[in-house]
Structure 1
Amino acid sequence: MIILSIESSCDETAAAVIKDGRVVLSDIVHSQVKIHAKWGGVVPEIASRNHLIEVIPVIEQALIEAQVTWSDIDAIAVTQGPGLVGALLVGLQVAKSLAYVHQKPLIPVHHLRGHLSAVALHAPDEPAPPIPDYPFLALVVSGGHTAIYRVDSSQDIKIISNTQDDAAGEAFDKVSRMLGLGYPGGPVIEKEAQGGQDDAYRFTLPNIKAAPLDFSFSGLKTAVLTKIKKHGHLPTGQDQKNLLASFQAAAVHQLVTRCKEAMKQEAVQRLVISGGVACNQRLREELKAAVEAKGGKTFIPPKKWCTDNAAMIAAAAYTQAELYMNRGAHADDDLLNAMNSWAVNDFINPLGI
């Protein structure tokens, strides 16, 4: 089965062509990072306008690189939510139109299910990576989400841990902004923290008695701001490196600790890690070491498939394709709406299939 997928939930305009839910024939991503950098974060209206400009060229390039035509495409997949409504609508409307014109089944996909499916992806000239047996836990950690899920099947997913406030990636962005280092904060902080002492500043692990597996990054962010104010000026040189290294170490420690506790509570030995913050090398290494020390196993996509992309959307669509393939191109597709909020365990889409 060959699926063309479209992703436009935030500030990446992406399209991909995937074979059998795993083999990436093409994967095109147009990033808006430089556009939003001067604002210190994503501006929804600007994101939507840029999607309108880029979505058709990105889709055309995906088809060209995959060396396929519309007659080769079996279905079209598109991110329905959660995300920025205006941004989602661009991808949805284009996908609906293409499905109608080319008479292809349309598969709406939950963005986070895409992140959960990214571990299955590989290039045509690469061996297929191992994928976890059920059940497994999944840490999705990004600028908009930080949560742990228990996955018992492709249709049985429940959230067991969430953030009480900021997502991890959001905290990285805000700390970077405090220090005038730019956007996005994750890669900037990881780079600038090199050579810093990660124990130069003490940051405590949040203790959330009512929900001990939950995350909280607002306190860590505020603690960094307090350290900056004590300096009386923005730290530079080695002082800055030490502060960033200590912040990064504290954020990673919280993520690793909560994952270990969740795996113990759920008696599950397999952990999937995805989302933009999963590009952080220290997080990847520390989680892998911590899980393997307890006899478990981690499954982490290559960094290019941790950030938002359309390949993961096709991978997720493949797992639910049977629900949609028998429908063909369907008039009710027009009823699909963008969903800014959507529980990941709500498998049944608004069409009631």
Structure 2
Amino acid sequence: MSLYNIGKRVLYRGFPNKSSMPIRHYKVLSIETSCDDTCIALLEKNDSKAPPKIIDQVKSTLNSVATGGIIPTDALRFHQTTLASLIETLLKKHNCRPDLICCTRGPGMAGSLSAGLQLSKGLAVAWGVPLIGVHHMLGHILVATLPKSEQPDLTAPQYPFLSLLCSGGHTMLVLSKSITDHEIIANTADIAVGDSLDKCARELGLKGVMLGRELESYVNSIKQSTIQKFDTMETKESNLNSFKYKLGLPLKGPRREKYPKDIVFAFAGFLSSIQSYKKDKGGLNVVLDQETREFISYKLQEHVFDHIIDRMNLAFTKHGSNKRKYEHADGKFLGVKDLIFSGGVASNQRLREKLATRLQFQDNDGEVTDLNLHFPDLSLCTDNAVMIGVAGIEIFESLRIKSDLGVCPIPKWPMDSLLDVEGWVNVTPEEYNQVIQNK
């Protein structure tokens, strides 16, 4: 059997039609250790036409409050002391031995990735089952194919579709035409939105493990009457508000090209705005009074999310399908009807609200139309092992490939190079049948 990669199409020989293959109950152990979360999940695949079922999942997070951030060696040690016992407990609880193992191969922190990948290799050898090394961001995308408790009537996204991936390590708009064909439409020019929110929250004096979520909670605790007052104040110039705080949208201004060659996000400036303000008030160690902290927190979160909306609408216009109405439109988004919103920041309800009401996607006639917005369940937005299992199952069943046992972590793995890395090998029909028939 041979695998031929022709451009972005993947052709397979040696297998009968997928619909004729017997699909029954096979169980999948999935592992995610790309950063500071030790995540495992047990999934079951019952039907070739239905998404996998989540049997159970467990997550343990390193407490990094005392260190003021994630230290890679601490994360590695945490995974090493936590992962094996979590797996043992989960498998004993459900009295099973998995038929397939899926784990995160990248991108992420090298040590953290190694902890999960090396243990997965050992289990694959011990059990004699295939191993799938999964791209972390592909997991964030494909988890949206699972049924959603808040959107029970929404069908799974259909190719081609768009994905907005917002997390502590990534912020990108991706066009997906197949499981192997992904084009990055917009990426961050500096730091990711989750990283920016975390750093801004820490600069504002908030405490916690997930500071972006702490910032959201803090903003949500502000009285509505205070919010209404804040909404009347502008921040484009410091003299437009009583707090003398200046904050505008990045990459805007008369000197900026209207339709730049590369569309990017930029989030580093939000932290700089807070630091500059504190320096003017007496130094970085100055303690802000409650009303000032509420004002900056609220305006900051609003501007961060408005920046995301602004860049996405720019991408929609530039890559719209109506070439006759807009000379700059290149038709790249022709046929797109679905937008997936995933990643840790995707759990923020305010950003979800803005996406649902302020996007301006254009149809073939140049008219603004609604996309089908896919919001994974909140527990599946942040890093989790379920998404790794979902992506691994799709790779195994659709592409009929697995990871060689000599693979290494890929800390930097471009989203548009899923198959262009060493370590993919073909799954033989015998191996495939062994998994799906439990032979």
TM-score between both structures, scaled by the size of structure 1 = 0.90
Maintained 8 Å contact 1:138/1:273: yes
CA distance in structure 1 between the aligned counterparts of 2:413 and 2:187, rounded to whole angstroms: 14
Equivalence for 2:86: 58
Unaligned runs of 5+ in 1: none
**CA shift at 1:288, angstroms?**
1.6
**How large is the Cα RMSD of the aligned pairs?**
2.4
CA distance in structure 1 between the aligned counterparts of 2:232 and 2:146, rounded to whole angstroms: 37
Q: Which secondary structure state, in structure 2, belongs to the residue aligned with residue 205 of structure 1?
A: coil
* 1:325–1:137 distance in 2 versus 1, CA, 3 Å: closer
- Alignment partner for residue 336 of structure 1, among 390, 407, 412? 407
Equivalence for 2:277: 227
Q: Which secondary structure state, in structure 1, belongs to the residue aligned with residue 307 of structure 2?
A: helix
Q: Report the AA paired with residue 343 of structure 1.
A: P
Q: Report the AA paired with residue 86 of structure 2.
A: V
**CA shift at 1:121, angstroms?**
2.9
* 1:129–1:39 distance in 2 versus 1, CA, 3 Å: farther
**CA shift at 1:236, angstroms?**
2.3
Q: Deviations over 1:48-107 (max 9, x none)?
A: 001011101221333355x3501xx22100100111111111101110000000111101
* 1:289–1:64 distance in 2 versus 1, CA, 3 Å: farther
CA distance in structure 2 between the aligned counterparts of 1:242 and 1:63, rounded to whole angstroms: 49
* 1:283–1:326 distance in 2 versus 1, CA, 3 Å: closer
User: Which 4+ runs in 1 deviate beyond 6 A?
Assistant: none
* 1:222–1:279 distance in 2 versus 1, CA, 3 Å: same
Q: Deviations over 1:214-237 (max 9, x none)?
A: 100112221122223333333221
* 1:288–1:326 distance in 2 versus 1, CA, 3 Å: closer
- Alignment partner for residue 204 of structure 1, among 230, 248, 252? 248
Q: Which has the higher helix share?
A: 1
Q: Which secondary structure state, in structure 2, belongs to the residue aligned with residue 104 of structure 1?
A: coil
Equivalence for 2:48: none
Q: Report the AA paired with residue 314 of structure 2.
A: E
CA distance in structure 1 between the aligned counterparts of 2:415 and 2:340, rounded to whole angstroms: 16
1:305 correspondence with 2:370: no
Bigger Rg over Cα: 2
CA distance in structure 2 between the aligned counterparts of 1:86 and 1:14, rounded to whole angstroms: 15
Equivalence for 2:219: 193
**CA shift at 1:128, angstroms?**
8.0
CA distance in structure 2 between the aligned counterparts of 1:339 and 1:26, rounded to whole angstroms: 27
Maintained 8 Å contact 1:106/1:324: no
Equivalence for 1:350: 422
**CA shift at 1:185, angstroms?**
2.0
CA distance in structure 1 between the aligned counterparts of 2:161 and 2:338, rounded to whole angstroms: 5
* 1:24–1:98 distance in 2 versus 1, CA, 3 Å: same
Equivalent residues, number: 343
Q: Report the AA paired with residue 108 of structure 1.
A: G
Equivalence for 1:283: 351
CA distance in structure 2 between the aligned counterparts of 1:171 and 1:74, rounded to whole angstroms: 40
**CA shift at 1:313, angstroms?**
0.2
Equivalence for 2:171: 146
Q: Which secondary structure state, in structure 2, belongs to the residue aligned with residue 4 of structure 1?
A: strand
Equivalence for 1:111: 136
Equivalence for 1:25: 55
CA distance in structure 1 between the aligned counterparts of 2:273 and 2:152, rounded to whole angstroms: 45
Maintained 8 Å contact 1:24/1:121: no
Maintained 8 Å contact 1:137/1:263: no
**CA shift at 1:152, angstroms?**
0.6
Percent identity over the alignment? 31
Equivalence for 1:120: 145
CA distance in structure 1 between the aligned counterparts of 2:412 and 2:288, rounded to whole angstroms: 38
Q: Deviations over 1:103-148 (max 9, x none)?
A: 1110110001111112123599x96852111111111111111111
CA distance in structure 1 between the aligned counterparts of 2:119 and 2:44, rounded to whole angstroms: 21
* 1:148–1:248 distance in 2 versus 1, CA, 3 Å: same
Maintained 8 Å contact 1:199/1:246: no
TM-score between both structures, scaled by the size of structure 2 = 0.73
Equivalence for 2:300: 247
Equivalence for 1:36: 64
Q: Report the AA paired with residue 351 of structure 1.
A: G
Equivalence for 1:45: 73
**CA shift at 1:303, angstroms?**
1.2
Equivalence for 2:22: none
**CA shift at 1:263, angstroms?**
3.2
1:182 correspondence with 2:212: no
Q: Deviations over 1:165-210 (max 9, x none)?
A: 0111111111112122124321111111232435643422222645
Q: Which secondary structure state, in structure 2, belongs to the residue aligned with residue 272 of structure 1?
A: strand
Q: Which secondary structure state, in structure 2, belongs to the residue aligned with residue 350 of structure 1?
A: coil
* 1:146–1:308 distance in 2 versus 1, CA, 3 Å: same
Equivalence for 2:9: none
Maintained 8 Å contact 1:291/1:298: no
* 1:64–1:299 distance in 2 versus 1, CA, 3 Å: farther
Maintained 8 Å contact 2:395/2:401: no
